[in-house]
Chains A and B, each alone.
Chain A
């Protein structure tokens, strides 16, 4: 099933069928381990140090390795080496994560400023909205800048579209 929305964002539910069970097992393992690690660090070194690990890139190495392997397999099925393309796709994924990281700072800021005075669910909902809003705006800005650069290079806006 495919759905295409505004901004060229698409949803492909078929990707879930293609996903291997071990990729989710790995994510649960890494995610669970980092959440436990955060708790352990906070317990022994205090919340000031433990909080650092709320934005630890634990899952990124595993997910990028899986993305690279998936892309290579796709290309090899049609007789190509695929190493270069797989690297490029993984690189784009990391670029997206760097934008998400700026959103994480917005999340932390909302929690820091509002948690002492607000209700838990309100603060966490607001912080998640701040993450999503910040990430979306920055992603759109990046996309626009890339389009403008391509248009400038080729001398045509249509090509960039």
Chain B
């Protein structure tokens, strides 16, 4: 049951932030909501109630490394999209390796 609640809260939070992004112009401003803390809010709300504040704080610290990976990933995707004719899904999924490299690289040197 816990996983169903987690799925629903996360899904609705992501869809909510996306809907806000959809109605906003210009596109560069709406794009900010592609980097909204929707999954983080859903997860932390449930985490605090189950595991407590210290556990959630540790997740927050790791989130900084994930965010660094997200920044580089989105930057690379934006750059490739502007300069190539490759399909969007190829660029966005192929570049995912950047997120994993940065996030897990920072985790290995800073958080492990």
Chain A residues close to B by CB (< 8 Å): 8-13, 15-16, 19, 24, 27-36, 38-39, 42, 46-61, 63-65, 68, 83, 87-105, 107-113, 115-117, 120, 124, 127-128, 131, 135-136, 139, 142-143
Contact = CB atoms under 8 A, between A and B. Distances in A.
5 A-B pairs closest in CB distance? A96-B31, A100-B35, A35-B10, A31-B14, A51-B62
B67 A108 contact: yes
B35 A10 contact: no
5 contacts: A52-B104, A61-B96, A90-B81, A97-B70, A105-B67
Given A16-B23, A54-B44, A87-B85, A115 B31 contact: no
A94 B31 contact: yes
A38 B39 contact: yes
B61 A51 contact: yes
Interface in B51-90: 51, 53-71, 73-75, 77-79, 81-82, 84-85, 88-89
Contacts of A88: 81-82
Contacts of A48: 58-59, 61-62, 107, 111-112
B42 A135 contact: no
Contact of B71 (A102, A124, A143): A102
Nearest to B40: A54
B22 A51 contact: no
Contacts of B55: 47
B8 interface: yes
Nearest to A135: B32
A32 B11 contact: yes
Nearest to A19: B22
A113 B61 CA distance: 8
B15 interface: yes
Contacts of A117: 53
B55 to A, nearest CB: 5
Given A38-B39, A47-B62, A139-B28, A91 B70 contact: no
